[in-house]
């Protein structure tokens, strides 16, 4: 008998690209915390300051906050909860 595969959300990695003194970043993080409270399967989020990495700043600097799921764009600017849940298959 084989072991069932864990759902995609169990293996997923969420990253929030942010920067210091970013009100939209704080708002998105607060909204994400509320989603995680309702859907415990949503993985914890890793915060990354876009200004600490030149490559990240060139790619995402003007678009923060940016939420990535396993490195792929979920949303930018505002939390897209339906899209996040769809990608996590929740």
pTM: 0.87
Class of domain 8-88: alpha beta
So what's the pLDDT on residue 82? 97
Asked if 15 contacts 48 with a C-beta cutoff of 8 angstroms, the reply is: yes
Domains of the chain, residue spans: 8-88
Per-residue tens of pLDDT for the chain, all 90 residues: 554 444 555 578 999 999 999 999 999 999 999 999 999 999 999 999 999 999 999 999 899 999 999 999 999 999 999 999 999 999
Helix axes 81-88, 23-38, angle to 10 degrees: 50
């Amino acid at each position: 008998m084989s072991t069932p595969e864990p759902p995609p959300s169990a293996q997923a990695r969420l990253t929030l690209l942010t920067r210091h003194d970013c009100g939209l970043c704080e708002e998105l993080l607060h909204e994400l915390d509320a989603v995680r409270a309702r859907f415990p399967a949503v993985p914890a989020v890793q915060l990354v300051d876009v200004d600490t990495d030149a490559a990240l700043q060139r790619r995402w600097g003007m678009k923060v906050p940016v939420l990535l799921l396993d490195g792929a764009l979920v949303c930018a600017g505002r939390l897209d909860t339906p899209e996040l849940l769809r990608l996590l298959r929740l």
